[in-house]
Chain A
Amino acid sequence: MATKASHPNSLSKKEAAIGGYFKAISAIIWKDVRAEFRSWELLSAMLVFSLLAILIFNFALELDVKTRQSVTAGVLWATFAFAGTLGLNRSMSIEKDRGCLDGLLLAPVDRSAIYFGKFFSNLAFMLIVEAIVLPVYSVLYNTNLFQPGLIAIILLGSVGYTSVGTLLAAMSVQTRTRDVLLPILLFPVAFAVLLSAVKASGGFLNGADFAEISFPINLLIVYDIIFIAISFMLFDAVVEE
């Protein structure tokens, strides 16, 4: 055997297992990023959708300056949520279509490592899309969105949405109706995260005191922790036949 796990003298079993766990997470992130920057299959779909969505909202709503501030949070999170669903679906479909999900599941690592690998790469893709959408939105709607507080809220919301989305995408990809099933499963579950994110972002953009928006921010943090913990515990059961 060429695997390190079979050489007890080189590392203790526990250290080797922990090292293998993080190596598997980083391998999945490396693989996803490398493949994506070659094919642009996932990012291009998410980006085109997001840019079209904010463009359509811009012309459809015909807003004055004051109203723009009040709808920005809703428009942004609706765009992020739909674009995120596209990305989550595609990310798992790539694994499923050529049997690569089985390839991942055959690896001798705890299956939560596979979950975290997919979660971090999905999160990275979502953040890349958001980083491109924010300046375009700022120009179109004449609103400065590059504020550290808002960026922190977007990060928290994206973590919650992607964490539960990765779990549900792994579940829906096993079905024939995966394209339809993921949003049907994801939106009701992620509703609380999206609502908290919209409330916190809206409050921040409207100049509310931190005390006023601390509740939705705290809720976001709690949901992030709960969703990651639940996904960590359930992923093995979700992917096993």
Chain B
Amino acid sequence: MIAVKKLVKRFGLKTVLRGVDFSVQPGEFVALLGPNGAGKTTFLRILAALSRPTLGEVSIAGYKLPDEATQVRARLGVVSHLSLLYNDLTAEENLRFYARMYDVENSSARIAAVLAMVGLEARRRDLVRTYSRGMQQRLAIGRAVLHDPQIMLLDEPYTGLDQDASSMLDAALKAVAAEGRTIVMTSHDLARAEELAARFDILSRGIIVASATRKQIKKNNLLSFYKQALAD
């Protein structure tokens, strides 16, 4: 579903990604872990066709980036720590706007289904500015799945959420994963990553230094795997 070969990204003289090889199978949930400045967000922005690779090959759902970016974007849903929502529109209006941008069929029914999925039907006519951070993040997931994408890219979706909001986001993400979507999530939160993902890749200084499946890592041992990978 996602195939990345020898990916390099430079910003001027600074090299952020130094030849990343990465692949994800359909339906797989991969957590991309690493310290600050490892290049996780840059990597995800390249997968999302928001940034051009300097060198290397990126292929998503059979389409190559950056040449077939429009086809790739139609198959992607992206959630970041920013909600990508308009404060002065209601939840319903935000989704209606994105439905038109993605040319979603039967948009009214789809919007209602998405609002039900993220548990915000009762607040659908409220302005987003009146929402708590957790509610905004749940609506952001609704926005990302509105066009029924095959692949979800989640960039630190738990940033700034309290315990309750994180638990609600967990439930929303599990519902999204249960629909068989391919998911790549960056996170600092090892416990949440361990709970949700089936595979863990560690990115450090612009390169993937270790990769393991849930089966390969003994339960509750992701932290030592992570520390070992960074130490090596």
Binding site for B on A (CB under 8 A): 1-7, 16, 19-20, 23-24, 26-28, 30-31, 34-36, 38-39, 41, 94, 98-100, 102-110, 240-241
Contact = CB atoms under 8 A, between A and B. Distances in A.
B100 A106 contact: no
B138 interface: no
B78 interface: yes
Given A34-B93, A241-B51, A102 B150 contact: no
B76 A106 contact: yes
B86 A105 contact: no
A23 B98 CA distance: 11
Among A94, A100, A106, find the residue whose CB has the most chain B CB atoms closer than 10 A. Answer: A106
A42 to B, nearest CB: 11
Interface in B100-128: 100-106, 110, 127
Interface stretch (B20-28, B67-75, B197-205, B206-214): B67-75
B38 interface: no
B88 interface: yes
Given A2-B106, A3-B74, A241-B45, 4 more contacts: A3-B148, A24-B100, A26-B100, A99-B83
Contacts of B73: 106-108
A38 B101 CA distance: 21
Contact of B82 (A16, A19, A98, A104): A98
Contact of A38 (B71, B88, B103): B88
B87 interface: yes
Contacts, number: 110
B74 A1 contact: yes
B150 A100 contact: no
Given A103-B98, A108-B73, A241-B50, A2 B147 contact: yes
B51 A23 contact: no
Nearest to B143: A103
B105 A23 contact: no
A105 B104 contact: no
A99 B82 contact: yes
A239 B143 CA distance: 22
Nearest to A239: B50
A106 B104 CA distance: 15
Contacts of A94: 86
A102 B82 contact: yes
A240 B51 contact: yes
Contact of A98 (B70, B71, B86, B93): B86
B70 A27 contact: no
